[in-house]
Amino acid sequence: MKRKTAGTTAYLFPVGKGGSYRICEVIPTTAAASEYSAEYFNTAYPDLTRLTPLTGVANDRWWDISKVSGSDAAIRLTLTGAVLGAAPADALVVAHYNGADWVNAKGATGTGITPGNATSGTALSSSQSSFSPFTFGFGPSGSLPIKLEYFTAEKGVGFNNLHWKANCFSAKAVFELERSTDGRQFNKISTIEADQLRCQQPFDFRDNNAGQATVYYRVRVIDVDGSAFYSRIVAVVGKNTGLEIVGVYPTIVKGNGQLRVNVISGNANNMDFVITNTTGQIVKRLRLNVSPGDNNLTLNLQELANGMYQITGYNSDGEMRTFRFIKQ
């Protein structure tokens, strides 16, 4: 089956075989005009060799998913029955055959399914540039790292609320909450430890000592093996009409040429952006609408030549903040 799309929403393929309905979904990375194909097979793939951390792959199903043209994409598979050989202590992930072996396609942005003997759920790969074939793979949950699904903050009356959720495969996870008044220097305000069962549930934290000024938050996530990573930075604007640029990412823009800008607003407003090169020459101006709360704006910079740039954002009060990025 072939389908065409020009968006970034999940695109479902209603495939199946042998009386079994086994959907898969393709989620394009960009909104470029794209075409994909998919076919389901209710048998084992001829080669079941795999690379660590996978200890096995499904031997009764696989999907032939290909990109005919267009954007890279993530793959989401729906589980409709237990995967033979997977144990409760395992996690299920999307596995991709690279031409010689099956490899873990979860990456840093995908999600998995626990426990390993689950009979339902969905697993998501990271964005894929090469396709076909895909199936479910499994391995010890501790070898498949934690993924932070979201991290947000909102202003309350005299306090700020923080919310986050993690996709945990390890036996234990530690979350260190950090606060800053300038978005650069952070101090730890709380440490929360969670076993695997608790880690699957959403977390909430009330910061009663934030004060009335704009404050920034991030969470440091520590896996059972000691490896750690930081969430994105979020902010809460102290006043009801303020605008604040929290950060830009990625700092090295390549591929689709998209730069994401995280803006926190106290109300609906406009924000002006000016991009300059290393000589100070203005190369692009933009005005974007922002909504109250957390805004993640996407700027298309494909037309910029490769090099180093500055982006400066101005709010309605004339306040400004500048970030640097590289276009490759």
pLDDT in tens, 224-238: 667 778 888 888 876
Distances (CA, A) of 119 to 3, 81, 83: 28, 4, 8
Q: Is the dihedral of CA 253, 258, 260, 261 positive or negative?
A: positive
- Among candidates 178, 150, 147, which has minimal Cα distance to 164? 150
The model's pTM: 0.52
Residue with tokens 């389908």: 3
Q: What are phi and psi of 229, to 5 degrees?
A: -150, 160
d(CA 230, CA 243): 24
Instruction: Give pLDDT, residue 125.
Output: 93
Other beta carbons within 10 Å of 67: 19
CB 178 within 8 A of CB 190: no
CA of residue 260 relative to chain centroid, distance: 13
Distances (CA, A) of 327 to 144, 249, 258, 313: 32, 12, 10, 18
Q: Mind listing the pLDDT tens digit of every residue in the chain (328 residues)?
A: 999 999 999 999 999 998 999 999 999 999 999 999 999 999 999 999 998 789 999 999 999 999 999 999 999 999 999 999 999 988 999 999 999 999 999 876 788 998 899 999 999 998 998 898 999 999 987 666 778 888 988 887 788 999 999 887 666 789 999 999 877 789 999 999 998 778 878 999 999 988 777 888 999 998 866 777 888 888 887 665 566 777 787 888 886 788 888 887 766 777 888 999 988 899 999 888 887 777 788 888 888 998 899 998 887 667 777 888 888 8
- 245 bridge partner residues: 263
Cα 111 to Cα 105, 146, 147, 225, distances in angstroms = 10, 9, 7, 19
**Beta-bridge mates of residue 272:** 287, 314
Q: How many CB atoms lie within 10 A of CB 154?
A: 12
Q: Give the residue among 53, 60, 122 at the shortest CA–CA distance from 90.
A: 53
* Cα 65 to the center of its chain, rounded Å: 22
pLDDT tens digits for 167-214? 876 667 899 999 998 777 899 999 999 987 788 789 999 999 887 778
Decide: 125 and 102 in contact? Cβ < 8 Å. Answer: no
The C-alpha torsion from 31 through 36 and 39 to 45, rounded to 10°, is -90
